[in-house]
A and B are shown apart, each in its own frame.
Chain A
Amino acid sequence: MSTLPDQARCHALYRQMLRIRRFEERCGELYKQQKIRGFLHLYIGEEAIATGVIDRLEPRDVISATYREHGHALVRGVSMRAIMAEMYGKVAGCSRGRGGSMHLFDVQRGFLGGHAIVGAGLPIAVGLAMARKRLDQGAISVCFFGEGAAAEGEFHEALNLAALWELPVLFVCENNGYAMGTALARSESQTDIHLKAQAYKIRAEVVDGMDVLAVDEAAQRAISAIRADLKPYFLECRTYRFRPHSMFDPELYREQAEVSEWKKKDPLLTFRAQCETAGLLDEAAVQAMEQEIASEIEDAVQFSEQAEWEAESDLLKDVYTPRGAP
């Protein structure tokens, strides 16, 4: 267990994780009501990772993530209204309803997707780091991906390029143990993902992805190291997905006992207990957070319900950039 920070920071970390959890619980309900369609991949159980890492970034840093990225977008400051409206498919969505749950973008906040081809975000993150290094030295490119990506060639190509070209990339592997329904040991001969990064001479460490403070500390170490020498760093955050892979998943590949065992490590429960023991958080404070979050979510839902659909006449808009634009 890590040492607890001051009360304000404890509240901020807990509040952020709670915000992701409640938002996604509502998304799951809205999916069942068919307000949200397509695929919906919930992050529930993994909230400590996005919270711990993204909170330590600067505005000049850029982030790329996967199709399980609602939490990352929320922590980065993409508005909940814009995220929810995107999932509704409305033009007020953060990607104008063109992307949906899997493709959240907010360039103003350096949130560059939302990539749904496993492993394909890594080379893009490497290129973003090339640009950051040349245009704003000290800024970094952070890339979130699942352990399933380690089976893709693009994972290995990207790690090699980042190390070879000495680029400021923070690779964050969210190892939840399953690539959809395939357990890590069924798909990888070497299940210690961080060792693959070390093989490319990238500094790499294993982090308890269920412990927000452990993630926060590892992120600080990694980010300051990258800013100092502009070379990559790799965090393998071990975590667990409490919900099915997507809303279509009957979960035939894992035992409920395993899920229950991991739920004892729920990052919200464990962090809350730790804070309460230290006298830094109490029921009243949590209730206040719950109320604020509930009203933020309700506002986002109402906003999305009332938001406009994009005119069909705009169908072909934004396939190409208007000529003369930068």
Chain B
Amino acid sequence: MENRTDKNSYTIIFAIAMVVIVGALLAFTASSLKPKISENQRIEKQQNILYAMGVNNNDESSANFVSTAKAPELFGQYITKQLVITGNDVREDDQAYLIDLKKDKAAAAGDASKRNLPLFIGEKDGKTFYVAPIYGKGLWDAIWGYVSMDENMVIQGAYFDHKGETPGLGANIKERFFMDDFIGEHLLDAKGNFKGVEVAKGNGDPTNENKTDNKVDAIAGATITGNGVTAMIKSDLKLYKPYFDNLKN
């Protein structure tokens, strides 16, 4: 018994068999569950966009999406237009929310005029919301979000999410206390130039009363994730500035 399993030939055969079995098992699981998983992700995007424009089931302190079952219906009801902006060209596309920002960013290779920028226009209580997706990197992995703005680029709502930030620290960007701070913040400075919103340490405004300082209070212990949020707001939302300029003219 002992000798048999010590043989080189046995070891190699065992290794090959194990790889084949485990590989087949994983491949089978992944491919059979894939449709279900991508459906979940599609609905999650709709929930995220709705969340950013204030259609959610929030209670006093925690962030809650509208239910999965109702999301597609509400999405159709509140989102009146889905646009894709490429350079000066603006077209309607009801699949715009499925654009993968990461792939699009890579394909454009730094040329902003080649980007396909999705923008979702929603109506709620007679108000118009412009929701834009953003994508960047935190400390460990990707972070992303959806920001809804009014026509003056004042933030009306924000949703952030992350792939693998530290629980209790960077992962708190998806908590209400952080996301709610962005509501009412101006993305433009007093002269109307794009400035973004900085996640700032020690800005002397922890309760975030000053909405025109282009700053929100950072999370202690999550400096790099916070900087990532600052960076993705700055780089991604800036691209929408020309659209909002046109809107006014």
Say if A and B assemble together: no
What residues make up the interface of B, taking CB atoms closer than 8 Å to A?
A: none
